[in-house]
Structure 1
Amino acid sequence: MCNIDIKQVLEDKKKYLDLLLLADEQENMIDRYLERGEMFVLESEDVKAVCVVTDEGDGEFEIKNIAVEPGSQRLGYGRRMLEHILFLYKDRGTAMYVGTGDSPLTIPFYESAGFKKSYQIDNFFTEHYDAPIFESGRQLEHMIVLKKKLT
Protein backbone atom coordinates (compact mmCIF):
# COMPACT_ATOMS: atom_id res chain seq x y z
CA MET A 1 0.00 0.00 0.00
CA CYS A 2 1.35 3.39 -0.98
CA ASN A 3 0.70 6.56 0.96
CA ILE A 4 -2.92 6.79 1.97
CA ASP A 5 -4.85 10.04 2.27
CA ILE A 6 -8.46 10.23 3.48
CA LYS A 7 -10.22 13.51 2.92
CA GLN A 8 -13.73 14.87 3.14
CA VAL A 9 -15.60 15.70 -0.05
CA LEU A 10 -17.59 18.92 0.30
CA GLU A 11 -18.91 19.40 -3.23
CA ASP A 12 -19.56 17.52 -6.46
CA LYS A 13 -20.26 14.29 -4.54
CA LYS A 14 -21.99 12.75 -7.57
CA LYS A 15 -18.56 12.62 -9.23
CA TYR A 16 -18.09 9.40 -7.25
CA LEU A 17 -21.44 7.89 -8.27
CA ASP A 18 -19.90 4.85 -10.01
CA LEU A 19 -18.11 3.94 -6.79
CA LEU A 20 -21.17 4.64 -4.60
CA LEU A 21 -23.25 2.35 -6.81
CA LEU A 22 -21.01 -0.58 -5.88
CA ALA A 23 -22.42 -0.49 -2.34
CA ASP A 24 -25.91 0.83 -3.10
CA GLU A 25 -27.10 -0.28 -6.50
CA GLN A 26 -29.86 2.28 -7.08
CA GLU A 27 -29.15 5.96 -7.66
CA ASN A 28 -32.40 7.27 -6.19
CA MET A 29 -31.58 5.46 -2.92
CA ILE A 30 -28.16 7.16 -2.85
CA ASP A 31 -29.90 10.49 -3.50
CA ARG A 32 -31.82 10.04 -0.23
CA TYR A 33 -28.66 10.47 1.86
CA LEU A 34 -25.81 11.79 -0.28
CA GLU A 35 -26.27 15.54 0.23
CA ARG A 36 -27.15 15.31 3.92
CA GLY A 37 -24.23 12.98 4.61
CA GLU A 38 -20.55 13.64 5.15
CA MET A 39 -18.56 12.03 2.38
CA PHE A 40 -14.97 10.81 2.49
CA VAL A 41 -12.61 9.39 -0.12
CA LEU A 42 -9.51 7.30 0.46
CA GLU A 43 -6.75 7.90 -2.05
CA SER A 44 -3.60 5.92 -2.67
CA GLU A 45 -2.31 7.27 -5.99
CA ASP A 46 -5.97 7.43 -7.07
CA VAL A 47 -9.37 7.01 -5.37
CA LYS A 48 -9.64 3.55 -3.83
CA ALA A 49 -12.64 3.89 -1.49
CA VAL A 50 -15.55 6.11 -0.58
CA CYS A 51 -17.77 6.41 2.50
CA VAL A 52 -20.88 8.44 3.38
CA VAL A 53 -21.94 8.95 7.00
CA THR A 54 -25.18 10.60 8.13
CA ASP A 55 -26.09 12.22 11.42
CA GLU A 56 -29.25 10.49 12.62
CA GLY A 57 -29.66 12.71 15.69
CA ASP A 58 -29.25 12.08 19.42
CA GLY A 59 -25.55 11.28 19.00
CA GLU A 60 -26.18 8.48 16.52
CA PHE A 61 -24.50 8.24 13.11
CA GLU A 62 -24.94 5.79 10.26
CA ILE A 63 -22.58 4.59 7.58
CA LYS A 64 -24.86 4.72 4.56
CA ASN A 65 -22.31 3.71 1.96
CA ILE A 66 -18.79 2.33 2.01
CA ALA A 67 -17.30 0.99 -1.20
CA VAL A 68 -13.91 0.03 -2.59
CA GLU A 69 -12.90 0.03 -6.26
CA PRO A 70 -13.21 -3.53 -7.60
CA GLY A 71 -9.52 -3.80 -8.50
CA SER A 72 -8.55 -2.64 -5.01
CA GLN A 73 -10.86 -4.84 -2.94
CA ARG A 74 -9.47 -7.19 -0.28
CA LEU A 75 -6.31 -5.09 0.06
CA GLY A 76 -7.24 -3.36 3.33
CA TYR A 77 -8.64 -0.10 1.93
CA GLY A 78 -12.15 -0.75 3.25
CA ARG A 79 -10.76 -1.58 6.69
CA ARG A 80 -8.63 1.60 6.70
CA MET A 81 -11.64 3.70 5.72
CA LEU A 82 -13.80 2.12 8.42
CA GLU A 83 -11.12 2.62 11.09
CA HIS A 84 -10.73 6.25 10.05
CA ILE A 85 -14.49 6.87 10.22
CA LEU A 86 -14.78 5.27 13.65
CA PHE A 87 -11.85 7.35 14.92
CA LEU A 88 -13.26 10.54 13.40
CA TYR A 89 -16.68 10.10 15.00
CA LYS A 90 -15.63 8.61 18.35
CA ASP A 91 -15.98 11.89 20.23
CA ARG A 92 -18.94 13.19 18.23
CA GLY A 93 -21.62 10.78 19.39
CA THR A 94 -22.55 7.59 21.16
CA ALA A 95 -23.21 5.05 18.39
CA MET A 96 -22.40 4.23 14.78
CA TYR A 97 -24.84 2.12 12.79
CA VAL A 98 -24.55 0.41 9.43
CA GLY A 99 -27.28 -1.35 7.49
CA THR A 100 -26.32 -4.12 5.10
CA GLY A 101 -27.70 -7.18 3.42
CA ASP A 102 -27.57 -10.51 5.21
CA SER A 103 -24.39 -11.50 3.41
CA PRO A 104 -21.40 -13.63 4.38
CA LEU A 105 -19.21 -10.99 2.73
CA THR A 106 -20.29 -7.92 4.69
CA ILE A 107 -21.56 -9.00 8.11
CA PRO A 108 -18.18 -10.51 9.21
CA PHE A 109 -16.35 -7.39 7.97
CA TYR A 110 -18.34 -5.18 10.35
CA GLU A 111 -18.35 -7.69 13.20
CA SER A 112 -14.55 -7.87 13.04
CA ALA A 113 -14.53 -4.09 13.63
CA GLY A 114 -16.65 -4.44 16.78
CA PHE A 115 -20.14 -3.98 15.35
CA LYS A 116 -22.92 -6.14 16.79
CA LYS A 117 -26.22 -7.06 15.18
CA SER A 118 -28.86 -4.65 16.48
CA TYR A 119 -32.05 -5.31 14.50
CA GLN A 120 -33.41 -6.33 11.13
CA ILE A 121 -35.62 -4.48 8.65
CA ASP A 122 -37.69 -7.16 6.93
CA ASN A 123 -38.05 -7.08 3.14
CA PHE A 124 -36.03 -3.85 2.84
CA PHE A 125 -34.26 -4.78 -0.39
CA THR A 126 -37.30 -6.35 -2.05
CA GLU A 127 -39.58 -3.40 -1.22
CA HIS A 128 -37.22 -0.45 -1.85
CA TYR A 129 -35.21 -1.51 -4.90
CA ASP A 130 -36.48 -1.82 -8.45
CA ALA A 131 -34.42 -4.92 -9.28
CA PRO A 132 -33.33 -7.86 -7.16
CA ILE A 133 -29.89 -7.52 -5.55
CA PHE A 134 -27.70 -10.60 -5.35
CA GLU A 135 -24.63 -11.09 -3.22
CA SER A 136 -22.67 -14.33 -2.89
CA GLY A 137 -25.21 -16.02 -5.15
CA ARG A 138 -28.30 -15.24 -3.12
CA GLN A 139 -30.91 -12.52 -3.28
CA LEU A 140 -30.83 -9.94 -0.52
CA GLU A 141 -34.17 -9.44 1.20
CA HIS A 142 -33.73 -8.13 4.73
CA MET A 143 -31.46 -5.37 5.96
CA ILE A 144 -29.34 -6.26 8.97
CA VAL A 145 -28.51 -3.20 11.07
CA LEU A 146 -25.35 -3.40 13.12
CA LYS A 147 -24.30 -1.04 15.89
CA LYS A 148 -21.01 -0.06 17.48
CA LYS A 149 -20.74 2.10 20.58
CA LEU A 150 -18.50 5.11 19.97
CA THR A 151 -17.78 6.02 23.58
Structure 2
Amino acid sequence: MINIVPILKNKKEFLELLLLADEQESMIDLYLERGEMYALYDGDLKAACVITDEGNGVYEIKNIATYPHYQRKGYGKRLIEFLLEHYKDRYHTLLVGTAEDTYTEDFYKQCGFTYSHRIPNFFTDNYDHPMYEDGKLLKDMVYLKISKNG
Protein backbone atom coordinates (compact mmCIF):
# COMPACT_ATOMS: atom_id res chain seq x y z
CA MET A 1 0.00 0.00 0.00
CA ILE A 2 1.37 3.42 -0.99
CA ASN A 3 1.96 5.76 1.92
CA ILE A 4 3.20 9.35 1.49
CA VAL A 5 4.53 10.93 4.67
CA PRO A 6 5.94 14.37 5.49
CA ILE A 7 9.60 14.47 6.48
CA LEU A 8 9.90 17.08 9.22
CA LYS A 9 13.46 16.49 10.43
CA ASN A 10 16.69 14.79 9.35
CA LYS A 11 15.98 15.53 5.69
CA LYS A 12 19.64 14.97 4.84
CA GLU A 13 19.11 11.26 5.55
CA PHE A 14 17.42 11.22 2.12
CA LEU A 15 20.38 12.86 0.37
CA GLU A 16 21.34 9.76 -1.61
CA LEU A 17 17.87 9.70 -3.17
CA LEU A 18 17.66 13.47 -3.73
CA LEU A 19 21.03 13.44 -5.50
CA LEU A 20 19.47 11.30 -8.22
CA ALA A 21 17.43 14.35 -9.31
CA ASP A 22 19.87 17.12 -8.39
CA GLU A 23 23.43 15.89 -8.43
CA GLN A 24 25.11 18.68 -6.46
CA GLU A 25 24.64 18.71 -2.69
CA SER A 26 25.27 22.46 -2.36
CA MET A 27 22.35 23.12 -4.71
CA ILE A 28 20.07 20.83 -2.67
CA ASP A 29 21.16 22.72 0.45
CA LEU A 30 19.69 25.91 -1.05
CA TYR A 31 16.13 24.57 -0.79
CA LEU A 32 16.07 21.51 1.43
CA GLU A 33 15.44 23.13 4.81
CA ARG A 34 13.08 25.84 3.56
CA GLY A 35 11.09 23.32 1.56
CA GLU A 36 8.51 20.78 2.62
CA MET A 37 9.61 17.21 1.99
CA TYR A 38 7.57 14.07 1.42
CA ALA A 39 8.63 10.44 1.09
CA LEU A 40 6.66 7.78 -0.73
CA TYR A 41 6.72 4.27 0.67
CA ASP A 42 5.27 1.17 -0.92
CA GLY A 43 6.70 -1.34 1.50
CA ASP A 44 10.07 0.40 1.46
CA LEU A 45 11.13 3.87 0.35
CA LYS A 46 10.54 4.38 -3.36
CA ALA A 47 10.60 8.15 -3.97
CA ALA A 48 10.79 11.57 -2.36
CA CYS A 49 10.16 15.19 -3.24
CA VAL A 50 10.78 18.70 -1.96
CA ILE A 51 8.40 21.59 -2.66
CA THR A 52 8.91 25.25 -1.77
CA ASP A 53 6.59 28.20 -1.28
CA GLU A 54 7.94 30.91 -3.58
CA GLY A 55 5.34 33.46 -2.44
CA ASN A 56 2.15 34.91 -3.90
CA GLY A 57 0.57 31.50 -4.49
CA VAL A 58 3.52 30.11 -6.46
CA TYR A 59 4.96 26.77 -5.33
CA GLU A 60 7.89 25.00 -6.93
CA ILE A 61 8.79 21.34 -6.98
CA LYS A 62 12.54 21.62 -6.39
CA ASN A 63 13.31 17.91 -6.35
CA ILE A 64 11.44 14.73 -7.11
CA ALA A 65 13.40 11.50 -7.24
CA THR A 66 12.61 7.81 -7.54
CA TYR A 67 15.16 5.06 -7.09
CA PRO A 68 16.14 3.81 -10.58
CA HIS A 69 14.81 0.27 -10.13
CA TYR A 70 11.38 1.72 -9.20
CA GLN A 71 11.17 4.27 -12.03
CA ARG A 72 8.40 4.03 -14.63
CA LYS A 73 6.13 2.29 -12.13
CA GLY A 74 3.96 5.34 -11.35
CA TYR A 75 5.59 6.47 -8.11
CA GLY A 76 6.68 9.87 -9.43
CA LYS A 77 3.25 10.46 -10.93
CA ARG A 78 1.67 9.50 -7.62
CA LEU A 79 3.82 12.10 -5.83
CA ILE A 80 2.75 14.78 -8.35
CA GLU A 81 -0.91 13.85 -7.81
CA PHE A 82 -0.39 14.06 -4.06
CA LEU A 83 1.18 17.53 -4.31
CA LEU A 84 -1.59 18.81 -6.57
CA GLU A 85 -4.21 17.65 -4.09
CA HIS A 86 -2.33 18.55 -0.89
CA TYR A 87 -1.53 22.10 -2.04
CA LYS A 88 -4.72 22.76 -4.04
CA ASP A 89 -5.93 25.48 -1.68
CA ARG A 90 -2.52 27.16 -1.49
CA TYR A 91 -1.17 27.48 -5.02
CA HIS A 92 -2.35 29.21 -8.15
CA THR A 93 0.80 28.15 -10.03
CA LEU A 94 2.91 25.05 -9.47
CA LEU A 95 6.32 25.21 -11.14
CA VAL A 96 8.96 22.61 -11.83
CA GLY A 97 12.33 23.11 -13.49
CA THR A 98 14.21 20.52 -15.49
CA ALA A 99 16.75 20.18 -18.26
CA GLU A 100 15.39 20.63 -21.76
CA ASP A 101 14.65 17.74 -24.13
CA THR A 102 14.85 15.00 -21.54
CA TYR A 103 12.70 12.10 -20.41
CA THR A 104 11.97 14.14 -17.30
CA GLU A 105 10.50 17.02 -19.29
CA ASP A 106 8.20 14.53 -21.07
CA PHE A 107 7.19 13.03 -17.71
CA TYR A 108 6.04 16.42 -16.41
CA LYS A 109 4.09 17.12 -19.60
CA GLN A 110 2.32 13.78 -19.18
CA CYS A 111 1.40 14.91 -15.64
CA GLY A 112 -0.31 18.03 -17.01
CA PHE A 113 2.48 20.62 -16.89
CA THR A 114 2.94 23.05 -19.80
CA TYR A 115 5.86 25.23 -20.82
CA SER A 116 6.36 28.35 -18.67
CA HIS A 117 9.82 29.83 -19.35
CA ARG A 118 13.49 29.01 -19.50
CA ILE A 119 16.64 30.19 -17.77
CA PRO A 120 19.51 30.12 -20.27
CA ASN A 121 22.75 28.49 -19.09
CA PHE A 122 21.33 27.66 -15.66
CA PHE A 123 23.20 24.38 -15.35
CA THR A 124 26.49 25.64 -16.75
CA ASP A 125 26.36 28.80 -14.59
CA ASN A 126 25.24 27.26 -11.28
CA TYR A 127 26.84 23.83 -11.05
CA ASP A 128 30.49 23.20 -10.33
CA HIS A 129 30.82 20.57 -13.06
CA PRO A 130 29.35 19.90 -16.49
CA MET A 131 26.28 17.66 -16.34
CA TYR A 132 25.17 15.34 -19.09
CA GLU A 133 22.06 13.34 -19.76
CA ASP A 134 22.07 10.79 -22.57
CA GLY A 135 25.41 12.23 -23.72
CA LYS A 136 24.00 15.77 -24.04
CA LEU A 137 25.43 18.68 -22.02
CA LEU A 138 22.72 20.20 -19.84
CA LYS A 139 22.61 23.99 -20.24
CA ASP A 140 19.20 25.63 -19.95
CA MET A 141 16.65 25.11 -17.19
CA VAL A 142 13.16 24.73 -18.63
CA TYR A 143 10.32 25.63 -16.30
CA LEU A 144 6.96 23.95 -16.67
CA LYS A 145 3.81 24.93 -14.83
CA ILE A 146 0.31 23.99 -13.84
CA SER A 147 -1.80 27.10 -13.35
CA LYS A 148 -5.31 27.27 -12.02
CA ASN A 149 -6.03 30.43 -14.00
CA GLY A 150 -4.79 29.17 -17.33
TM-score range, shorter chain: over 0.9
> Contact between 1:103 and 1:135, CA under 8 Å: does it hold in 2?
no
**Partner residue of 2:7?**
9
**Partner residue of 1:39?**
37
Deviation at 1:136, TM superposition (A): 2.1
Question: Hey, which bits of structure 1, 4+ residues long, moved more than 3 A?
Answer: none
Match of 2:115, SS? strand
1:85 corresponds to 2:86: no
Distance across 2 between alignment mates of 1:23 and 1:150: 26
Q: CA RMSD in A?
A: 1.0
Alpha-carbon deviations, 1:35-92, whole Å to 9, x = none? 0000000001111000000000000000000000111111111111111111111111
1:76 to 46, 67, 74: 74
Deviation at 1:24, TM superposition (A): 0.3
Name the % identity. 52
Match of 1:86, SS? helix
Match of 1:28, SS? helix
- Partner amino acid for 1:53? I
**Partner residue of 1:131?**
129
Match of 2:85, SS? helix
- Judged with a 3 Å threshold, the aligned counterparts in structure 2 of structure 1 residues 150 and 46 are, in CA distance, closer, same or farther, namely farther
Extract unaligned runs of 5+ from structure 2.
none
Alpha-carbon deviations, 1:93-123, whole Å to 9, x = none? 2010001001330111111111111110000
Q: How does 1:20-39 map to 2 (within 5 A)?
A: 20-39=18-37
Q: How does 1:94-113 map to 2 (within 5 A)?
A: 94-113=92-111
